[in-house]
Structure 1
Amino acid sequence: MTTATSTAGNAWLKKVRWDENGLVPVIAQEAASGDVLMFAWMNRDALARTVELGEAVYWSRSRKKLWHKGEESGHIQKVLEIRLDCDEDVVLLKIEQAGSIACHTGRHSCFFQKFEGDDWKSVDPVLQDPKTIYTKPKKTT
């Protein structure tokens, strides 16, 4: 993947069809397995930072800020390739997932629920208890 030296106003960013909130949907796909690991959103800054760092940076709609995937969990997504769909309104990241966990539930993929019969069933195991992933060390005074 090439790194953008100057991200402000680059033509490649202008080609993306951003929604009315300045966002684009993003799919993170594990390059080696082809597994779809997660869905998220990016704004221009997030996509530019992703190109700059070579690691996935998303826009958190709930927190209203950039979110460098793995900043708390250590489950960084190394970006190997970035693709734009035919309508130029969806981004696909082909990634290498650190720690084999992409989901905040401690699973490999966020798509662990499968519709069977008349209900959703969890079909993928928890690889690590989320309580052990998202613990911040307590500050000592």
Structure 2
Amino acid sequence: MSYDLAVWEGERPADDRAAGRIWRGLYERYLDSDDGEVEEPPSERIAAYVAALLERWCDITEDEAASSPWSSGPLIGNASGPVIYFGMSWSMAEEASAYAADLANSMGLVCFDVQQNGLRPWAGRPVGGRR
């Protein structure tokens, strides 16, 4: 089981509901293939975001010390076009998701918490916490 985030290029939606609609559209267009393969190479901005995440923690495919928070790899394999949908292990989800959300925000990307159906980052609310 993993804790999942979606990050994409675009303007920050007005609210969580709008973000959910955008997320579903992006998922259907870029990630929902019959064979499970990503259809489009990641955009430059998404590739740069993944590279920045991997500067903080190594890819799970390269992790010999079990210190990577990513639940699947290679991490860039979860990206298609202007979107990435990736999971983190629950044991590191609070730290890794906060970092991933803050990083996305700093790079002008939208971060969406799939479990909470809400935009990230949010102030003062822990992973799995109520709004």
Question: TM-score when scaled to structure 2?
Answer: 0.29
The structure having more radius of gyration, on CA atoms, is: 1
| TM-score when normalising by structure 1 | 0.27
- The answer to which structure has the higher strand fraction is 1
**Structure with the higher fraction of residues in helix conformation:** 2
